[in-house]
A and B are shown apart, each in its own frame.
Chain A
Amino acid sequence: MTELQQRLATGKGKFTPLYEDLDTGPVSYEDSISPEFFEAEREAVFKRSWLYVGRSERLPRPGTFFTRELKGLASIVVSRRKDGVVNAFHNVCAHRGNKVVWQEHPQEESKGSCREFACKYHGWRYGLDGRVTHVTNEEEFFGLDKDSLRMPPVHCEEFAGFIFVNLAPDPVPLRTYLGDRLLELEAYPFGEMTQHYGFSAPIRGNWKLAVDSVCEWYHPPYVHARFIDKDIAKAEKMVPPPDSYHYDLFTPHMLTSVPGPPPLPPREPGTAGPAARDQKWVYRLFRAGLFGPDDVPDIGPLPEFLNAGNIKSWGNDQFWLFPNLSVQIWARGFYITYTYWPEAVDKHTYDIDLYFVPPKNAQERLAQELIVDSTIEFAMQDVNTIEATQQGLSTRANRQFHLSDQELLIRKFHKTVRDTVAAHGARDAKEG
């Protein structure tokens, strides 16, 4: 063990056997390659779960709106009404079904600010709540009940500045869905972190395989070897030992906390040393690394719910909000969200959004730039692994795979998806 590993090791034994609903046997990845499963998953999971569609800061004033293309699910408009409430509705005209809100390209998302939405086809208009306010040549229609006409509503609720929608007719309230453990998130000052970077990548792989890739720290010495150490044997030793992570599975959601390196100590300007072709020098110069800035912004005392496992050198908490959102709160005062949007059994869109406190000067701005760039360089390496895994799995040359104790979250996540699909199927069969 290296010194780092010794310092972080907890001496805890295995985690997986602690969870009674989890076995330790081999797993099937049929859930990531079967088109039938994909369709069932869309019905049981995505059409019935609360789905994160954007931060509240995107709707700063009444009249502001954005659209989301949830491929294969819905095209929705999310708007802030005059009374300040955020609501959502399907982007479909009550007249002949035209998509109402778009600019230039109907298939692209849009955003803006307005008093009313006007359909580009025949000029019907809708209020910020989706209700019809104007029917062109109304008198020519037959028995129109204008008051009931609208773009179909979608359940929409805000939590801690995160806007969620639910496509089910009668979902449980968002707060019930999140449960006590996640409600604690509300104590975090998300709203202060308005410096926003967003990225989106098309990936030729099942969305769950992408989730898997951030749920374990088994792969970094190999996939990210060059970042850690060119010598893989050394890289292996630099990664904290498996028992230094903290896990908490509270179905359907889950949490893992990750150790991280301590920030660099304060440094007098002019002491970075001579320029070198050495990334450690770059980190020292810009006072940041993958785990955050060295000059941690003052966002007040950290809410108590963070680092529940008391990791000695805490790096971040990753909250997995079932099904497709991860909120990663980093020890050094910023947060990242990962969102995964399936499009086909072997295709999804992966969104990464990073949020910081607005920088006060160039030094802070550059530190954030470095964190963003590092995150994306790492993510690009992960993306290709996901595509390679999809290809390997889809041959079905092998149908049984093996998960170690440090891949606990993956075992749990796939089980939760499979269970949700099975439960929905059973309900369907009963209601027949």
Chain B
Amino acid sequence: MSTTTLPAQFAELEQWVADWARPTRQERYDMRLSKKYDQLEEFYDAIAPRAEEAIDYLNGRDLTDLADDDARLLQLLYSMILVSYAVNVFMQPRIPDSGAAFFNTTAEPAV
């Protein structure tokens, strides 16, 4: 019996799904802010080596009609992008000197 909620070839990324396969940018951003810096590094280091393969896999799917498994994989990549600034640019979860600044999402694509 399969226990993965990702496409089979990405089953080893399953442990990241609960936290990071989230449908809205706001949830992904909140997750980034809720983590310790080394947890962000761990997530980034786990996804990044599989990212190119994941893009290639998803390119073969119809973006307007994604299966749930595929959508979760895509969401992991969205999270990787969001986390990449923290890991590669700021070396911390929050943007330095950004204080209380925040942007509410008023519109975003369904997928």
Contact = CB atoms under 8 A, between A and B. Distances in A.
A376 B103 CA distance: 8
Interface stretch (B3-11, B15-23, B58-66): B58-66
B109 A201 contact: no
A277 B106 contact: no
A359 interface: yes
A279 interface: yes
B82 interface: yes
A362 B107 contact: no
Nearest to B41: A277
Interface string B59-78: 10101000000000010011
A227 B89 contact: yes
Given A360-B63, A361-B59, A201 B103 contact: yes
A269 B98 contact: no
A381 B98 contact: yes
Describe B's contact surface by its main secondary structure.
helix
Interface centre among B74, B81, B105 (most CB of A within 10 A): B81
B13 interface: no
Interface string A208-231: 000000000000000000110000
A377 interface: yes
A369 B81 contact: yes
Contacts of A384: 97-99, 101
Interface in A315-357: 351-353
A390 B87 CA distance: 31
A400 interface: no
Contacts of B81: 282, 286, 366, 369-370, 373
Nearest to B106: A198
Contact of A201 (B41, B55, B74, B102): B102
Nearest to A278: B88
B104 to A, nearest CB: 5
B111 A365 contact: yes
A11 interface: no
Contacts of A362: 55, 58-59, 61, 63, 74, 77
B104 A381 contact: no
Interface residues of B, number: 40
A285 interface: yes
B108 interface: yes
A381 B95 contact: yes
Contacts of A352: 103
Contact of B95 (A199, A269, A366, A377): A377
A383 interface: yes
B99 A200 contact: no
A387 interface: yes
A274 B109 contact: no
Interface string B40-62: 01001100110110011011010
Contact of B90 (A196, A226, A373): A226
A212 B25 CA distance: 28
Interface in A222-280: 226-227, 269-270, 272, 274-279
A366 B106 contact: no
A361 B56 CA distance: 10
Contacts of B97: 381, 384
Given A199-B105, A362-B55, A226 B99 contact: no
A269 B82 contact: no
A198 B107 contact: yes
A198 B108 contact: yes
A57 to B, nearest CB: 11
Contacts of A365: 63, 74, 109, 111
A366 B101 contact: no
Contact of A226 (B63, B77, B87, B89): B89
Given A279-B85, A361-B58, 7 more contacts: A195-B109, A279-B84, A285-B52, A362-B59, A363-B55, A374-B85, A381-B97
Interface of A: 195-201, 203, 226-227, 269-270, 272, 274-279, 282, 285-286, 351-353, 359-363, 365-366, 369-370, 372-374, 376-377, 379-381, 383-384, 387
7 contacts: A275-B48, A359-B63, A360-B63, A361-B58, A361-B63, A373-B25, A383-B101
